[in-house]
Copies of this chain bind each other. A is one copy, B any other.
Amino acid sequence: MASDGSRLVRCTSLPGLSSGAKRPMGVASLASPRRAANQRRRAPQIIEAAARVFAERGYHGATTQDIADVLGIRQASLYYYFSSKEAALEAVCLKGVEGFFDAAKTIAAGPGSAQERLTLLINSHLSPLIDRRDFVKVFQNERKFLPAESRKRIGRWSRGLERIFEDVIAEGVAKGEFRADLDPRLTTLAILGMCNAATTWYRKENVPVSHIAKEFARLALQGIDAPEAARRPRRR
């Protein structure tokens, strides 16, 4: 992180970021211990405010002043946490994607059939809708505005997550649990697409995430055909 993370140096102590052990530096080192402790305590609030503002207004429609306004602090105080608006976007995107990846990796490497693990993967992918919807939305819609270097970094996380789904699906095909003619790549993109879209309608639809996860897992595994129809050979 040292060579390419300088823009993020002041927010690396935010919980949930991979290099969470690092202490805030720069401005922080000049502050009184009490003030520094106070700033660390506020870090999660700061990143949440950034996520909310970016999710609502889009990256280009948002200013650091907007984020400061949500928090009721001075714009200058934000620079303790983020060296720039771009750095705030990267921190929000990282937090948006990171939880997904770690949870998915654990599930994929865990016990159970491919069907069972895919069900858990879908559930795990949807659950951050409850408390991290803004982060996920920003990741989905705004990461294209990151500078090239961090876009690449974020892209690697993203492809890693896709790969986890793809491998579990390919394993299910190899073991005869899933259709032999399945395209694991397109199936992964379909499943992630249907889950990711939930960030756009979740709040309006008023359905518990657990219900969405159950319906989506069943849809992915069994489809919507009635069991009798599924047994008949297709006409086309």
Q: How many copies does the complex hold?
A: 2
Query: Cβ of A231: which chain B residues have Cβ within 8 Å of it?
Result: 227, 230-231
Q: List A residues 173-227 near B (Cβ within 8 Å).
A: 176-180, 182-183, 185-187, 189-198, 201, 205, 207, 211-212, 215-216, 218-227
Chain A interface: which size bin?
35 or more
Q: List A residues 158-177 near B (Cβ within 8 Å).
A: 169, 172, 176-177
Task: Select from chain B the residue with minimum beta-carbon distance to A179.
Answer: B226
Looking at chain A's contact residues, is the secondary structure mostly helix, strand, loop, or mixed?
helix
Contact assessment for B186 and A212 in the assembled complex, using a CB-CB cutoff below 8 Å: yes
Can you sample 25 A-B contacts with CB below 8 Å? A58-B145, A60-B60, A172-B224, A177-B226, A179-B226, A180-B226, A183-B215, A185-B205, A186-B211, A189-B194, A190-B216, A191-B194, A192-B197, A193-B195, A194-B197, A196-B197, A220-B223, A220-B224, A222-B225, A223-B224, A223-B225, A223-B230, A227-B231, A230-B230, A231-B231
Residues 41-77 of A, flagged 1 when their CB comes within 8 A of B and 0 if not, give: 0000000000000000111110000000000000000
Contact assessment for A222 and B215 in the assembled complex, using a CB-CB cutoff below 8 Å: no
Contact assessment for A224 and B59 in the assembled complex, using a CB-CB cutoff below 8 Å: no
Q: Is A39 an interface residue (CB 8 A)?
A: no
Given known pairs A61-B60, A115-B229, A231-B227, the reply for A189 and B197 (CB within 8 Å) is: yes
- A133 CB to nearest B CB, Å: 14
Q: Is A141 an interface residue (CB 8 A)?
A: yes
- A200 CB to nearest B CB, Å: 8
Q: Which 9 interchain pairs have the tightest Cβ spacing?
A: A193-B197, A223-B223, A60-B60, A60-B61, A193-B194, A190-B194, A222-B223, A194-B194, A178-B224
Contact assessment for A187 and B61 in the assembled complex, using a CB-CB cutoff below 8 Å: no
A177-B225, A180-B226, A189-B201 provided; 6 other pairs, C-beta below 8 A?
Answer: A59-B60, A115-B229, A179-B222, A186-B215, A190-B215, A194-B197
Task: Select from chain B the residue with minimum beta-carbon distance to A185.
Answer: B205
